[in-house]
């Protein structure tokens, strides 16, 4: 009897370990699927739940695109980029409005969405990823590493045909906690558990060059990681080990909450995407310098970050 009990216990233990290993593999697969290769996408072109959205120049799309892809107008997923009325340049639509836009392009709750960059303007495409993440669909979304140029360079099929869109259905819209508010950032400046990183080019970060906003410089304590450093010469995202070094040099400390920002909340979405790829706890300050520079009650510094030459 004792031998039987021991055998049953051993089998039960092995089943638990196998289930845990399977769960870990699923988590790992979900993480790596944020970034997919042309080879991966080509192998899944006939998946029933696949939705391919190309972002960027439509003239490029009309000359040839990935079979099954649809062109997504960038301005369809944001508020109007109008400075004349005093509003911020680029802000999220409401969750319901966002869902309605993506439904028109065939997106449903169970869709696997692959975002494709048309040319080399990568932050347009990562902004769309952030927008999908804002309604809970980031977990369903992949980014084609290197975009359409990488697809062509790999010799993958290209077509001029555009298939009819079958509208999708998104059953619920819940705005995730992925946007940091300026007042919250200001209240937590100096918090050792908070890392803030500016994604603008260095000359804007130091105030050596003006971006046209009321004040120049950066948020106190923020490090600087221009998005140009995140990708290689072919616009592919650098390896996780390289990314970790870049984030650390910009002031990120392991285990910290990370807030990223830029001019208007577009460039920084590449840092948002890669930070999530690394498993960091990250938010985007969507108002970015467009908002912060307008409020004199919020502090600004220029020059290099402390400890930098």
Q: Is it the case that residue 28 has pLDDT exceeding 60?
A: no
Structure tokens given for 208: 């050596």
**Measured at the alpha carbon of residue 164, what is the angle toward residues 159 and 169, in degrees to the nearest 5?**
125
No. of helices (H) and no. of strands (E), the chain: 11, 9
145 has a pLDDT exceeding 90: yes
What mean pLDDT comes out for the span 118-132?
94
| Mean pLDDT, rounded, for 139-149 | 96
Lowest average pLDDT, out of 23-27, 105-109, 141-145, 231-235, goes to 23-27
Indicate the burial class of 259 (C-beta count within 10 angstroms; 0-12, 13-18, 19 or more): buried
Environment class of 273 (CB within 10 Å of its CB; exposed 0-12, middle 13-18, buried 19+): buried
Asked whether this chain's domains 32-153 and 182-292 adopt the same fold, the reply is yes
Q: Which two tokens stand for residue 172?
A: 């619920």
3-state class (DSSP) for residue 59:
helix
User: Widest CA span of the chain, in angstroms?
Assistant: 83
What does the pLDDT read at residue 176?
79
> Taking a C-beta distance cutoff of 8 angstroms, is the pair 69, 113 a contact?
no
pLDDT at 78: 82
Each domain of the chain, given as residue ranges in start order, spans 32-153, 182-292
Q: Which of 70-74, 77-81, 138-142 has the lowest mean pLDDT?
A: 77-81
- Contact assessment for residue 227 and residue 122, using Cβ atoms and an 8 Å cutoff: yes
Domain 182-292 has CATH 3.40.250.10: yes
What's the pLDDT band for 79 if we cut at 50, 70, 90? confident
More confident residue, 191 or 57: 191
pLDDT, residue 80, reads 65
pTM, to two decimals = 0.87
The pLDDT mean for the chain works out to 87
Question: Residue 255: what pLDDT?
Answer: 96
- 3-state SS track over 262-304: CCCCCCHHHHHHHHHHCCCEEEECCCHHHHHCCCCCCCCECCC
Closest to 46 (Cα-Cα) out of 163, 210, 168 = 163
Averaged pLDDT, 126-145 = 96
| Nearest Cα residue to 300 out of 226, 225, 213 | 213
Region 32-153: CATH code = 3.40.250.10
Residue 82: per-residue pLDDT: 54
Interval 198-205 mean pLDDT? 97
What is the pLDDT, as a whole number, of residue 307?
46
Helix (H) or strand (E) holding 115: strand 112-117
Q: Which of 189, 198, 184 is nearest to 304 (CA)?
A: 198
What pLDDT score does 86 carry?
52
Q: Is the pLDDT of residue 304 over 90?
A: no
- Region 128-137: mean pLDDT is 95
Greater model confidence, 81 or 190 = 190
Cα-to-chain-centroid distance, residue 154? 24
- In this prediction, residues 152-166 reach a mean pLDDT of 95
Distances (CA, A) of 135 to 93, 139, 172, 179: 10, 10, 8, 12
Per-residue pLDDT at 306: 57
- Rounded distance, CA 211 to CA 142, Å? 32
pLDDT of 24: 37
pLDDT for 253-291, tens place per residue?
A: 999 999 999 999 999 999 999 999 999 999 999 999 999
220, 299 contact by CB (below 8 A): yes
Give the E-state strand segments of 59-192 in sequence order. Answer: 69-71, 112-117, 141-144
């Amino acid at each position: 009897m004792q031998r039987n009990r021991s055998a049953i216990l051993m089998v039960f233990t092995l089943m638990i370990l196998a289930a845990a290993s399977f769960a870990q593999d699923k988590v790992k697969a979900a993480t790596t699927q944020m970034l997919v290769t042309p080879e991966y996408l080509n192998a899944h072109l006939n998946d029933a739940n696949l939705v391919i959205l190309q972002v960027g120049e439509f003239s490029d799309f009309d000359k040839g695109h990935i079979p099954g892809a649809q062109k997504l107008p960038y301005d369809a997923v944001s508020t109007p980029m109008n400075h004349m009325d005093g509003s911020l340049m680029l802000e999220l639509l409401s969750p319901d409005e966002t869902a309605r836009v993506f439904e028109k392009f065939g997106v449903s709750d169970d869709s696997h969405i692959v975002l494709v960059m048309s040319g080399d303007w990568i932050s347009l495409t990562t902004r769309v990823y952030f927008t999908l993440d804002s309604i809970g669909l980031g977990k369903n979304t992949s980014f084609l590493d290197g975009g359409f140029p990488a697809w062509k360079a790999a010799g993958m099929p290209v077509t001029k045909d555009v298939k009819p869109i079958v509208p999708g259905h998104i059953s619920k819209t819940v705005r995730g906690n992925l946007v940091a508010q300026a007042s919250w950032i200001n209240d937590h400046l100096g918090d050792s558990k908070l890392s803030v990183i500016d994604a603008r080019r260095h000359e804007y970060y130091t105030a050596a060059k003006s971006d046209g906003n009321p004040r120049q410089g950066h948020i106190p304590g923020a490090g600087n990681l221009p998005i140009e450093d995140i990708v290689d010469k072919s616009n592919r995202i650098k390896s996780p080990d390289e990314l970790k070094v870049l984030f650390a040099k910009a002031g990120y400390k392991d285990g910290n909450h990370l807030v990223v920002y830029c001019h208007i909340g577009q460039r920084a979405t590449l840092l948002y995407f890669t930070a999530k790829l690394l498993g960091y706890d990250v938010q985007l300050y969507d108002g970015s310098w467009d908002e912060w520079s307008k409020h004199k009650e919020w502090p600004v510094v220029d020059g290099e970050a402390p400890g930098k030459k």
